[in-house]
Amino acid sequence: MEISVEINGTSHTSDVEPRTLLVHFIRDAAGLTGTNIGCDTSSCGACTVHFNGEAVKSCTMLAVQADGQSVTTIEGLANGDQMHPMQQAFMNCHALQCGYCTPGMVMASVSLLDEIPDPTEDQVREGLEGNLCRCTGYHNIVKAVLSAAGGGQ
Amino acid sequence: MIPVAFDYIRASSADEALAALGEHGDEAKLMAGGHSLLPMMKLRLAYPSVIVDIGRLSDLSYVNDGGDHLAIGALTRHRDVEINEMVQEHAPLLAMATAHVGDPQVRHRGTIGGSLAHADAAGDHPSALLALGGSVVATSASGDERVIDGTDLFTGFLESSLEPTEMITEIRIPKHTGQGWNFQKFNRRAQDWAIVGVSAQRSNGSAKVALVNMHPTPIRATAVEEALAGGASAAEAADQAAVGMEPSGDLNASVEYRSHLARVLTRRALEAAGIS
C-alpha cells in the first residue's frame, strides 16, 4: 500500500508491503541511514527515533503504522551546521566510543529531557534503560545528558 | 527479521475493528501498540494473515473516575497510565507495575489493553490487575459487552477467555486509595521481563497477592492470601508463595530458584505493604 511519512519535515511517499518495518522505510525508502539496526528485537535501542515527538524503537513498528504521521531521526536534530545541544553535549563529554548506539542514545536522551527537563543522575540512568552501549560507555553518556539538561555546563 | 506477509486493515473505530474480526475470525489479530505481537511476528512465532490496526482509536485512550473504580480505556498507552495522577492516587500499584514494563520507548507505544489481552504470565500488568481485583470489559462483533473478572481472564499459556471476535475496550480497577501495596520485580537487566515478580495489595483488612512468571498463566498466590487470612505473619505466609505453582526453568532461573525468589520477594512485598 502507498504510504506517506513525514520524516524530518519532508514527506516521503512509497509503496510498501504492510510487513515493512519503520526502520527499513527510514533507511531504504527515505535513504536516511543514520538510524541503525542493532538487535532487531526491541532490546538495544539503536533504532530509536521520535514518532510524533516521542522516542520509539523503529524496528518494532510497521511503516504503515506511521502513515500520515511525523518521524524525527538523528539527521533531523541539527540546525544546519549547528549541532543540537544534545549532540554537542555528547561530543563535549566524549559520550561515544564505537558510535553504533549513538544515534539511538541521542534520540532517547532528547526524548528523556522533553519529559523530565531537569533529571537526577538516577533518572537519566533509568530513562536510558532501553538503550544498550556495548562499549559500556554509560558514564560519559549520563554525564552528557546531565550536561545538556544543565544548558551545556 | 521480517514478519510473514499479511493483509492490513486500519480501523477508524471500534465498530470497524470488531466488524473485521467478525469477518476474519481466527485469521485476524488486533494490533494496538504492537509491542508484544510484532516481536512475535518478527520471530515468526505468530503469523496472522490479517492485522487489524486499532492503534489510532484515540477515543479508547482515557482514564476516568468511575466512582468506586477507575475506568481505563484499552488503548491507553503505558506511559499515560504510569504518569496519570488518578492512577497514582487510587491504584499506585498499577502505576508502579506499568513503570516497570519494558523501557520508555516500549511504554510510549504499548497499551494496557494489549498487554492484558496478550495474557503473558511474565508481563507486569496482569499481576497488578489480579492483586487489585480488576476486570476488563470485552466487546464483541455483535455489539454485546461483558465484564470479565481478572481471575477469569487468564486461561492458559498466552491464552485468555476472550473470544476471537471480542476485544477489550475498557479496564476497571477498584480504587485502593491510601491502602498498603508493593510491587517487586527481579530481573538481570533493567528492561527485561521479570524472572519473578510480585504484586501485593491490601484492601480493608485483607490482602491480595499475585505472581509474575511463576506459572503458565498470571496467577494469584492463594496459599499466601489464605495464610494471611488465617493470621500468619508476613514471613510465614510468604513461605507458601510457590505452593501450587508450576514455574518453568530456563537459562535465567531453575524451578527451584524461581520458587525461592517467589518466597523472598513475596515476603519483601508484604512487609513493604505494611503487613508484619
Q: Report the residue of A2, A4, A17, A19 to disrupt the B interface, i.e. the one with the largest count of B CBs within 10 Å.
A: A19
Closest by Cβ to B35, choosing from A42, A115, A129: A42
Beta-bridge partners for A41: none
ipTM of this predicted structure: 0.96
Nearest chain B residue to A22 by CA: give it.
B2
Nine-digit cell string for B186: 527481579
Average pLDDT over residues B11-32: 95
The answer on pLDDT for B38 being more than 60 is: yes
The answer on pLDDT for B136 being more than 80 is: yes
The answer on pLDDT for B22 being more than 60 is: yes
Alpha-helix residue ranges (DSSP H) falling in chain A? 22-24, 85-92, 102-115, 121-127, 138-149
The pLDDT tens digits of the residues spanning A97-146 come to 999 999 999 999 999 999 999 999 999 999 999 999 999 999 999 999 99
The answer on pLDDT for A153 being more than 60 is: no
**Distance from C-alpha of A125 to C-alpha of A119, rounded to nearest angstrom:** 10
- Phi/psi zone of residue A69: left (φ > 0), alpha (ψ -120 to 50 degrees), beta? beta
Average pLDDT over residues B81-108: 97
Return the pLDDT at A152: 57
- DSSP for residue B24: H
Contacts of B108 in chain A (CB under 8 A): 51, 54-56
Better-predicted residue by pLDDT, B192 or B149: B149
**Distance from C-alpha of A133 to C-alpha of A52, rounded to nearest angstrom:** 25
Classified as helix, coil or strand, B31 is strand
Average pLDDT over residues B155-179: 96
Return the pLDDT at A150: 84
Cα A118–chain centre separation: 20
Contact B57, B63 (CB under 8 A): no
Average pLDDT over residues A55-78: 98
Residue A21, chain B, CB below 8 Å: the answer is yes
Residue showing cell 524461581: B258
Q: Enumerate domains of chain B plus CATH numbers.
A: 7-53 (3.30.43.10), 63-174 (3.30.465.10), 181-273 (3.30.390.50)
Contacts of B184 (CB under 8 A, 6+ apart): B197, B198, B200, B265, B266, B268, B269, B272
List residues of chain B with CB under 8 Å from any CB of chain A: 1-8, 10, 34-35, 38-39, 41-43, 51, 53, 55, 79, 102-106, 108-109, 190-191
Nine-digit cell string for B88: 497514582
The pLDDT tens digits of the residues spanning A139-149 come to 999 999 999 99
Residue A64, chain B, CB below 8 Å: the answer is yes
Query: Is there a contact between A54 and B79 if contact means CB atoms under 8 Å apart?
Result: yes
**Distance from C-alpha of A21 to C-alpha of A28, rounded to nearest angstrom:** 10
**Distance from C-alpha of B25 to C-alpha of B20, rounded to nearest angstrom:** 8
The pLDDT tens digits of the residues spanning B192-248 come to 899 999 999 999 889 999 999 999 999 999 999 999 999 999 999 999 999 999 999
Chain B: nearest CA to A80, how far in angstroms? 27
Closest by Cβ to A43, choosing from B1, B10, B191: B191
Beta-bridge partners for B31: B53
Return the pLDDT at B192: 87
Return the pLDDT at B190: 82
Contact A16, A3 (CB under 8 A): yes
Chain A: nearest CA to B27, how far in angstroms? 16
The answer on pLDDT for B256 being more than 80 is: yes
Nearest residue to B176 (alpha-carbon basis) of B107, B95, B101: B95
Q: How many CB atoms within 10 Å of residue B10?
A: 19
Query: Is there a contact between B104 and A40 if contact means CB atoms under 8 Å apart?
Result: no
Contacts of B42 in chain A (CB under 8 A): 21, 40-41
Q: Report the residue of B37, B56, B103, B189 to disrupt the A interface, i.e. the one with the largest count of A CBs within 10 Å.
A: B103
Return the pLDDT at B25: 85
Helical axes A85-92 vs A138-149, angle rounded to 10°:
130
